[in-house]
Each structure stands twice: as C-alpha cells, then as structure tokens.
Amino acid sequence: MAERSFAKEVKSLRLGAGAEFRGEGILAVTKALLQSGVAYVGGYQGAPISHLMDVLADAEDILSELGVHFEASASEATAAAMLAASINYPLRGAVTWKSTVGTNVASDALANLASAGVKGGALIILGEDYGEGASIMQERTHAFAMKSQMWLLDPRPHLPEIVRAVEQGFALSEASHTPVMLMLRIRACHVYGRFMAKDNRSPQFSVADALKAPSRDYGRIILPPSTYLQEREKIEQRFPAALRFITERQMNELSPGDVGDIGIVLQGGLYNNVLRALELLECADAFGTSRIPLYVLNVTYPLVPEEWVKFSAGKRAILVIEEGQPEFIEQGASQILRKHEVSAHLLGKGILPMNGEYTVDALRKGIGEFIERFSPGLRSGKAAVRSVKEVPLVSAERLAALIPMRPPGLCTGCPERPFFSAMKLLQREMGPLHISADIGCHSFATLPPFNMGNSIMGYGLGAAGASAFHTDGGQRAVAVMGDGGFWHNGLTSGIGNAVFNRHDDVTIIVDNNYAAATGGQDIPSSRAANPHRQGNNSIIDAVRGVGVKWVRHTRTYDMRATLKVLRDALTTDFRGPKVIVAEGECQLNRQRRVRPLMKRAIQEGKRVVRERFGVDPDTCSGDHSCIRLSGCPSLTIQKSSDPLRTDPVAYVDNSCVGCGVCGEVAHAAVLCPSFYRAELLYNPSRWDRLVARVRAIVIAALQRRGERRRLRYAL
C-alpha cells in the first residue's frame, strides 16, 4: 500500500502516436520506457524516485500486456544485478533507486556490469538527492560514473527532454556497449508538462527468446584475463563510441545568445533555475531566451572536447555552473581548454558556492558577479539597475530567523513513538545506553524529545553498527532497525553476523508492516494481500532461521509489556544475540486503509465507533511530562480556564487518530490520571440512544446534587 495511488494516471500510458501526454516527470519516464521497448524493469524505492516505483507497480497490467517483466527488488544490489540480462542478450533493461546511497549498495554489481559491457541497452534511473531538501549525506553520482566509466545523463527538467533522455539513453548504451545513468532531481521527478506520445513497443527480443537460445561469451566474465581486455575496450572502443553518439545526436544543447565574449556552461538539471536567475538579472526572458550563450550539458559525463572548444572559441570568460563538489566538470573542462590552447578564462567554484544546492538566489548572486566582472555593459543600459550585491536575497539564513524550526519527526499515532518512550523510561531506570540507530522512520528518535541514537551507518546496518561493542558481561549495546532495513540488508549483515560472532547485544526490529519511510510500499513481511507479491513472511522465523535463540515479540502500543521485554533483554543471563520484534502497523497506512472503509460504512448507515483521547484540564498537573516523553504532534498545550492557574495545560487537538499513545505514556510513567478516552458514535442504534439518554439523566442528577452541596457549604 503506497502513500499515493497512480491507478488513474497510468491509464495515460496507453496513449499512442500523435496523442498529447500530460502528467508528472515520473509518469513521462514510465511512458518513455514503454515507447523504447524495454524488456525488464526493477528497482528499490527511495526519495525522490519512490513514486516511480509506485507508478510501475500500478501499471503492472500494462507492462504484462507488453511482455515487460517488472519487480520491486529486495535491494539496490538486486536491481543492479538484474542488468546482467543485458550483457549477453539484446535486451533493454532499466532499474531505479535513490542515489547516492542506493548506488553505494549496488556498487559491486555496477562495477562488474561496467567492466563486462552490455549488448542490450542498460539504463539506471537515479533519484539524485542533493541539497537542502535531501534526506541523506551530501554526495553526488558523478564520481561513481567517472570511476566505473558509465555515461551520466542530467536532462533539463522538461518533459520532452526527459523522454528524449530515456530513449537516447538506451541508444547510447547500445552504441557504446556501456551502462548509462540517468539522473533526475526531485523537481524533474515531479515537474508537470506535456509531450507528443509514441506507440508503446513490446521488446524486440524478449526474456523468453533469451531462454530459448542461451548465449555465453567468456570475454564478458569478470575474471582475468578478460578483465584486462575489458579495461582496454572501455578506453579504445566504448569511450570514443560514446563521444561520437553524443555529438551526432546533439544530446547537449546550445543557446547562442547575442553576447559573444562570455558564456555559461551548466548541468541540464539546473536549466530552469539558471534561466530564472538570468531573467531576474534582466538577461533572459520568461520563455527561456538568454542573451548570454548557454551550453547545456544533458550529458555531464563524458565531456565532448570538440563541443567545449567550439563553444569557448572567441570568449573571454566561461562560467561553469556545477552543483556540489568536487568540481568534476570544471576540472575536466580546464584540462580540455588548456590542452587545446583555448585562452578563455574559466570560472566556477569561488564565484559560485563550493557546496550546497544551487537555488535561484545563489545562482542570481553568482551569475550577477560574473556579469559585473566580465561584461558590465550587459546590464548598464537598464534604468536604475542596482548592483547584485545590493539586492536583498531571500536566503535560508534570513528565513531561519523568521520561521521557527520544524525538524522531522514521527507522525501522529506512529507505533514507534510508544516504543521509544518506553526506551526513554528504561534509561531513567538503568542509565544511558549506547544505541546504534538505522535508516528509516525510527531514525527520527535521534531528535527531541527522545534524543537517542549514537550513529547511523546505512539502511539495515543498525546491528552491524553495534558489532564493535560486543563485551563479555557489563552493559549491553542496543541496535535498532526497521522491518524494511531488516529485509534489505539487516538479516545477513546484522543478525547473521551477530550469530556468527556470538554477540551479546540487543537488536530491536521495529515492524510497522511496510517500507513506511519511503511511502508505505509492501515488503516481504507486509500483511496486506498483494496479487503480484508474496507477503506475510515472518521476521521471527527468519531470525530463528539464522540461529538466534533468544527472540521476543511485543506490541509497541502496550508500553508495560514493552518495558518488561526490554528490561529482560538487558538483564537476562542468556549469552548471545537477543532480538526483539516490536510490532505496530504504520498509522499513516492504517488511516489510508481504515478511513475509506469507515466513511463508506457511515454513508451506508452502519454503526461506527471512533475513539478519541483527551485531557481533563481540571486534573492536568501542568508539568507536561507527557509531552516530553511522547512528543505526539496532536499533543499540545492550551491556556487553563482556571483563573488561579497560570501554567498552560496539556491538550489533544483534532488531529488525534485515537491510537492511545498519550494515555499509555502517562499510565506507564505513572504521571497523572488526566487522560480520558471518548467514543464518537456514528449512526447509533436504539439501544445506543437509550443508554445515552440514561447516562445524561444520571449525570444531570449528580450535577444537581453537587451544585446543592456547593451552595450548602457556601452558606
């Protein structure tokens, strides 16, 4: 169950030649794959291409009709290894994942694939997660493309160019017998636009055809002496073939402009931001016509020397706009221009930031300084033009001073919240613990109000990250991983490793039934029925299958039971790895599943009960320990109605989903009895109405008696 369904949108994937296709970038990529005759597709979800996997899953019927095999891979390494099908056969294959973390996971398979080379087109669609909106460490794909000699495309965030990049990417791969990487930033994934569709194509050579006539080439095996010949082939054949193809197909774009002595070279993915910055500098119009010549690199690796020399000829200065560091393109360009004795002054980093996302404001400042330095007359004719340095920028620093911080956190009703509340209570009792955290929703426990987690090493590597803390006696280290990370990597690298090396640590597997952090996709242990996948595989059975003897299960919403299991794991005399499976369904996915059913039942006149929780303001002590231990977004404060109380009281707002976490925390921590549970009843029966009437009569009588007593005492 993904966070968003594309069941309606995927119908447009059936459009044929001459029809106009409208939609998001991820839908355009899928349509381009089908138009290119792709034979198989795989991948692993992750921002910013999670929705691409969701589109492919919702389009599975269309893929099947065309004879295209699709699978949601167990990891990025699994997806990359699928491309082995293109080594010996003319099969077009595409895989997708989040870079650069996904590329790191897939690195073994990719390096071997790049060495062996491919016969069919092999396309790797990467969601480049760089900049202020990224969720990972700040690295780029470019270094990996250079290291393994794979070609890197970075198309303009414009649907016709994205579609062209997919189609040309397959052709480039086949022409140079090399895997091709297609990089899509988040704006490219979700930009809306239109293009003229083509007919979908079944693969000219299918997987079934390959199985009928197996082909084997010892020269493609990754063993010496073949590897030495493959390295020579990369340099002597594949690289020149790629340069020829890029030049002949004009994959890079040139905008001539009307200023001859300066120019700008930019990554294709930055095109929209650069044009907007130039427009603000009054050097371009709203339709993309720039006065300054632009050389748009839709292929950022390899660089084509002839194109660079031609663009730079006769220019005094060239500005290279390359996001992130190191400045690979600038370094390569410098080498090309010096080797060809081109005298143009090359600028990039320094006039532009060395690191960070190239927002419109950052580009406006850098490009403005470049213009003022090398072509001040370009803007001198404009009336009342101020220096770029005088123009106020809406920078992140200025916004931070105006807008309160809103760090990411666990959702309202998240089943992981009571678990980490229990951990916090346990540390009050037993002292601080070393906690090896992991990638996933649970990584937010490193932030307030929980503040626990000493390191994060990678998806599913929570247990492995604690492996050095194995001791014979004394305090035990604690590791956390999610169910998605467990199936991705943690079963072998964490649990299996702990068994093999006889660790005495405690590993908690948070089982929320989905890959929740990437949008709620199904995983091997998901309980929901799926017509294309086999779910409901037991994590406990898998853990025991690799040799763990001490395994316990707890329901996260039951904090007393969770506290007891955690205490037992940290104090037991048993020596060896200890695993706790803490289960609770992702509340977002639960609401997506339950709310439509509840709404339908109410409309049909059926009796429906919905739970809500609240705080009695007269009972609330006002110390807010419940908030400090839980941090639920629905748990806030409000002014007390008692004029004698100055401190605000706790309050549960209307976003409450009725999970009961706040009351559980208060109960487990022995805080206060102020929390209450209320039942909202829709379409009540006659019995419900009678009970409500009797309750109202009894309550009214008790209130009148209380009022009489109050008056008696007052007299």
pLDDT at 1 over 60: no
The fraction of the chain above a pLDDT of 70, given in percent, is 94
The rounded distance, in Å, linking the Cα atoms of 195 and 191 is 13
pLDDT (tens digit, 9 = 90+) per residue, 531-552? 778 888 999 999 999 999 999 9
Indicate whether 308 pLDDT > 90. yes
pLDDT digits (tens, 9 = 90+) for 142-154: 999 999 999 999 9
> What's the confidence (pLDDT) of residue 189?
87
First to last CA, the chain: 65
Q: In what order do the strands lie in the sheet with 345-352?
A: 253-255, 294-297, 262-267, 317-321, 345-352
**579 within some domain:** yes
Residue 130 lies in a domain: yes
Do 262 and 166 share a structural domain? no
Q: How many domains does the chain have?
A: 4
Amino acid at residue number 390: E
Give the span between the Cα atoms of 266 and 296, in whole angstroms: 5
Q: Is residue 346 part of a domain?
A: yes
Give a yes or no: residue 372 inside a domain. yes
Contact between 291 and 259 under an 8 Å Cβ cutoff? The reply is yes
Residue 179's pLDDT is: 97
Distance separating alpha carbons of residues 177 and 234, to the nearest angstrom: 9
Give the CATH number for residue 282. Answer: 3.40.50.920
Q: How confident is the model at residue 244 (pLDDT cuts 50, 70, 90)?
A: very high
Query: What's the pLDDT at 3?
Result: 65
Where helices occur in 106-238 by DSSP H, the ranges are: 107-116, 142-148, 159-176, 186-190, 207-212, 226-233
Around Cβ 650, how many Cβ atoms within 10 Å?
26
Q: Which residues are paired to 707 by β-bridges? A: none
Name the amino acid, one letter, at 610.
R
Decide: 83 and 31 in contact? Cβ < 8 Å: no
CB neighbourhood size of 259 (10 A): 18
> Percent of the chain having pLDDT more than 90?
57
Residues near 644 by Cβ (< 8 Å), separated by ≥ 6? Answer: none
What DSSP state is assigned to residue 494?
I
Q: Tell me the mean pLDDT in the region 690-695.
A: 92
Q: What are 586-641's pLDDT values in tens digits?
A: 888 888 888 888 999 999 999 998 888 888 888 887 777 778 777 888 888 888 88
711 domain residue, yes or no = no
Torsion of CA 513, 519, 521, 525, to 10 degrees: -20
| Residue 666 clears pLDDT 50, i.e. is over it | yes
One domain for residues 372 and 243: no
What mean pLDDT value characterizes the chain?
88
Same domain, 257 and 244: no
The amino acid occupying position 437 is A
Element (H, E) at 54: helix 50-58
Give the pLDDT confidence score for residue 703 in this predicted structure: 86
Asked if the model's pLDDT at residue 384 lies above 50, the reply is: no
Q: What's the pLDDT score for residue 542? A: 95
Q: Model confidence over 38-57: pLDDT tens digits?
A: 999 999 988 788 888 889 98
Together in a domain, 349 and 460: no
At 138 the pLDDT is: 80
Q: What is the pLDDT of residue 274?
A: 95
Q: Give the pLDDT score at 626.
A: 78
Sort 237 into a burial class: Cβ within 10 Å, 0-12 / 13-18 / 19+.
middle
Within a domain: residue 207?
no
Q: Residue 187: what pLDDT?
A: 83
CB neighbour burial string for 587-620, b if at least 16 within 10 angstroms, e if fewer: bbbbebeeeeebeeeeeeeeebeeeebbbebeeb
Q: Residue 397 — pLDDT band, cuts 50, 70, 90?
A: low
Quick one: CA dihedral 411, 412, 413, 419, positive or negative? positive
Tell me the CATH number at 635: 3.30.70
**Which are the contacts of 568, defined by CB distance < 8 A and separation ≥ 6?**
552
The answer to whether residues 69 and 193 belong to one domain is: yes
The two tokens of residue 715 are 């007299």
Residue labelled with tokens 């073939």 = 241
Q: In which element (H, E) is residue 509 found?
A: strand 506-511
pTM over 0.85: yes
In this model, does residue 385 exceed pLDDT 50? no
CA distances from 44 to 224, 576, 593 (A): 32, 33, 23
Tell me how far CA of residue 483 lies from CA of 155, 349, 461, 525, in angstroms: 35, 42, 12, 8
Tokens 């340069």 correspond to what residue? 243
The answer to whether residues 457 and 533 belong to one domain is yes
Give yes or no for a cis peptide into 225 (omega within 30° of 0): yes
**Which residue in this structure is represented by tokens 């609330």?**
620
Query: What pLDDT, on the 0 to 100 scale, is given for residue 641?
Result: 81
In this prediction, residue 383 has a pLDDT band, given cuts at 50, 70 and 90, of: very low
What lies within 8 Å, CB to CB, of 14 at 6+ separation is 62, 200
Q: How far apart are CA 496 and CA 47, in angstroms?
A: 28
204 in a domain, yes or no?
Answer: no
* 176-190, 305-319, 663-677: least confidently modelled range: 663-677
Best CA proximity match to 477, nearest among 507, 446, 497: 507
Do residue 243 and residue 258 come from a single domain? no
State whether 166 and 42 are in the same domain. Answer: yes
Is 509 a domain residue?
yes
pLDDT in tens, 326-368: 999 999 999 999 999 998 999 999 899 998 889 998 999 999 9
**Helix or strand holding residue 708 (H, E):** helix 686-714
Structure tokens at 149: 């000699």
CB distance 254 to 295 below 8 Å: yes
Decide which of 363, 382, 401 is a domain's last residue. Answer: 382
The domain of 618 spans 608-683
pLDDT at 270: 94
SS3 22: strand
What's the whole-number mean pLDDT along residues 160-176? 97
pLDDT computed for residue 413 by the predictor = 86
Is residue 435 within 8 A of residue 478, CB to CB? The reply is yes
Whether 43 and 83 have beta carbons less than 8 Å apart is answered as no
Q: In this structure, what DSSP letter does residue 51 have? A: H
225/312 same-domain check: no
- Taking only the tens place, the pLDDT of each residue in 706-715 is 788 776 666 5
Asked if residue 357 and residue 496 are part of one domain, the reply reads: no
Clarify whether residues 500 and 552 are in a common domain: yes
Place 393 in a pLDDT band, splitting at 50, 70 and 90.
Answer: low
Q: How far is CA 512 from the centre of its chain?
A: 18
Q: Do 83 and 109 sit in the same domain of this protein?
A: yes
632: left (phi over 0), alpha (psi -120 to 50) or beta: beta
If residue 595 lies in a helix (H) or strand (E), which one and from where to where? helix 587-603
CATH of the domain at 153: 3.40.50.970
Tell me what pLDDT residue 139 has: 82
What is the per-residue pLDDT across 494-518, written as a single tens digit (0 to 9) for each? 999 999 999 999 999 999 998 888 8
What is the arithmetic mean of pLDDT over 412-429?
90
